[in-house]
Amino acid sequence: MTISGESLKATSQKKSSKNKIFIEIRRDWCKGCGICVAFCPKKVLELDEHEKSSISNPEACTQCGFCELHCPDMAIELILIQEGTK
């Protein structure tokens, strides 16, 4: 997969398992609609000064997947990294 433009990555630790989650936001696809920000139950995301979604509070993420599934621009991906494969 090629990613044009800057992509922000942040990690969040899943408390219940040893798995790591990356939330990847493709800034060049994000149109700043705010859906992910408004509906994230843990207030993990916010719109930055460029009106793009960014991760402000990664630790709080519960990997519920709401943001990933509801982004109209497919700009958010939760990437599960199995411990040991990194």
Comparing CB distances to ligand SF4, the nearer of 9 and 31 is: 31
Residue 18 interface partner, choices other proteins, ligand SF4, none, CB cut-off 5-8 Å depending on type: none
How many residues in the shown chain lie near ligand SF4 by CB under 6 A? 27
Binding of other proteins by 28 (CB under 8 A): yes
Please provide the distance, in angstroms rounded to a whole number, between the alpha carbons at the two ends of the chain: 18
Half-sphere exposure of 32 (CA within 13 A, CB side): 7
CA distance linking residue 77 with residue 80, whole number of Å: 9
Stretch that binds other proteins, among 14-22, 42-50, 54-62, 68-76 (CB under 8 A): 68-76
